Amino acid sequence: VFKRFVEIGRVAFISFGPHAGKLVAIVDVIDQNRALVDGPCSGVRRQAMPFKCMQLTDFVLKFPHSARQKCVRLAWEKENINEKWAATRWAKKIEAREKKAKMTDFDRYKVMKAKKMRNRIIKHEMKKLQRLASKKGKKPEKPEKSEKPEKPEKAQKSAKVQKAQKVQK
Amino acid sequence: AAGEKKPGEKAPREKKRGKKKTGEKKPAEQKPSQRAVGEKKKKIKRHHASRNPVLARGIGRYSRSAMYVRKALYKRKYTAPETKIEKKKKEKPRATIIKPVGGDKNGGSRVVKIRKMPRYYPTEDVPRKLLSHGKKPFSQHKRRLRASITPGTVLILLTGRHRGKRVVFLKQLGTGLLLVTGPLVINRVPLRRAHQKFVIATSTKVDISGVKIPKHLTDAYFKKKRLRKPKHQEGEIFDTEKEKYEITEQRKSDQKAVDSQILARIKKVPQLRGYLRSTFCLSNGVYPHKLVF
């Protein structure tokens, strides 16, 4: 049921508070509600932090409890947590949310145009397939054909979305 | 007594200066002239205290004529008195004017006063208004412009017949209104005035650095014209007033002149033309306070 546990070395994401948005490693547990926490590579000083504001990630580091900051840093850099974090979907979603909030009016327009174009392409292909399917009559090949070509469509879609994101940047 | 002291004090000072003057004439010729000038300046600067000691507030010791003598005004005549000839020669402003009068037997003309006596005297005088301070008329008000609005900014109009349209800002006019243009070919907004308060400034800017806006585009140019000469005829008063607004040739030519410069710059930015063509609208889940413009 539970996959992520509070343990020494667990990397946690701080969801609110003064250090919101940063990653820390749990160094020690103080009591039921607080942990000693340290984020040498993310700019968080070694401090006590309530569990409530932490959200556990999938990463665990290896260092003994109450290890000093240098050890935590070494472990962090050895595991390359910063890069691994940036590659997770979680971090990407956060980034996308931030970008969306920063969109200016012009950017919103450009995204709208890109989306429209993409949807048009998809619809076009779908219609083509539907026409083919209806022409050939009630043959069992219908569902297969409609599913397979969608994947190359997705590749095109992602290209459009990337364009939109680049435009946003 | 106080008045008397000061002339007494001044006298020995003058004497000293006199001595200095004569003593130091020899060293250089420039210096005495400079000093003379300096002293003249000093003399002019030194205003004598009042030679009329105060007995009570508003009451002086000496009469007007006594003061005339004490101040030596008989010595201080700067203009010659006006002779009778000069007085006669002085041109007085015209008091009457001769106007032609129509009609057969009216004699052709009348002599009419230019400045007439008032035709009504109110029974009660208007009370004097208290002094106010800092109340300026509109023409002298300070005009402010939001920092987010600079020449070339794309604005979103919120009121008026062009609401929701995105428009390019050109400059702020004398009354504080913003001069704005579509450009016309893009969104049918002509050179127009917009109010700062009813406009959203986006962060999108068009580079209008070299664009020359004709100088005759002022508030008077854009002001609405109203005819006021119905000649008191009961019927058909509404017809004579301008119902339909007609676009003058001058407006068209000005529009062209400005737009041609701006369109070139708009074309350089990709998708900007389409952006200006579109209108702004809110939909579900879109909250203006959360939007970044």
Measure the N-to-C terminal CA separation of chain A; round to a whole number of Å: 40
Question: For residue B158, is it within any domain?
Answer: yes
Q: How far apart (Å, rounded) are the C-alpha atoms in residues A127 and B225?
A: 58
Across the range B100-126, mean pLDDT stands at: 88
pTM as predicted = 0.66
CA distances to A50, B136, B181, B208 from B218, in Å? 64, 22, 14, 19
Q: Where are the beta strands (DSSP E) in chain B?
A: 54-56, 59-60, 96-100, 109-113, 153-157, 166-172, 178-181, 192-194, 199-205
Q: How many domains does chain B have?
A: 1
- Band of the pLDDT at B7, cuts 50, 70, 90? very low
State how far residue A90 is from chain B, nearest Cα, in angstroms. 23
Greater pLDDT, A3 or B46: A3
- Residues of chain A found within 8 Å of residue B291, distances taken between Cβ atoms: 105
Q: What is the ipTM of this complex?
A: 0.73
Q: How far apart (Å, rounded) are the C-alpha atoms in residues A102 and A83?
A: 24
User: Could you give phi then psi for residue B45, rounded to 5 degrees?
Assistant: -65, -40
- Residues of chain B found within 8 Å of residue A109, distances taken between Cβ atoms: 271, 274-275, 278
Question: For residue B72, is it within any domain?
Answer: no
| Per-residue pLDDT tens digits for A70-123 | 999 999 999 999 999 999 999 999 999 999 999 999 999 999 999 999 999 999
> Any idea what the CATH number is for the domain that residue B175 is in?
2.30.30.30
Domain that holds residue B158: 139-223+269-278
Question: For residue B194, is it within any domain?
Answer: yes
Across the range B240-249, mean pLDDT stands at: 77
Question: For residue B41, is it within any domain?
Answer: no
Across the range B117-124, mean pLDDT stands at: 90
Closest chain B residue to A98 measured between Cα atoms?
A: B292
Question: For residue B261, is it within any domain?
Answer: no
B228 has a pLDDT exceeding 50 = yes
Q: What is the pLDDT of residue B192?
A: 94
Greater pLDDT, B93 or B152: B152
- Band of the pLDDT at B25, cuts 50, 70, 90? very low
Q: Are A75 and A9 within 8 A, CB to CB?
A: yes
Greater pLDDT, B233 or A89: A89
Tokens coding A62? 């290896």
Provide the pairing of β-strand A34-39 with A44-50: antiparallel
Question: For residue B52, is it within any domain?
Answer: no
- Band of the pLDDT at B200, cuts 50, 70, 90? very high
Q: How far apart (Å, rounded) are the C-alpha atoms in residues B239 and B236?
A: 5
- Residues of chain B found within 8 Å of residue A113, distances taken between Cβ atoms: 271, 274
Question: For residue B131, is it within any domain?
Answer: no
Q: How far apart (Å, rounded) are the C-alpha atoms in residues B258 and B266?
A: 13
Question: For residue B217, is it within any domain?
Answer: yes
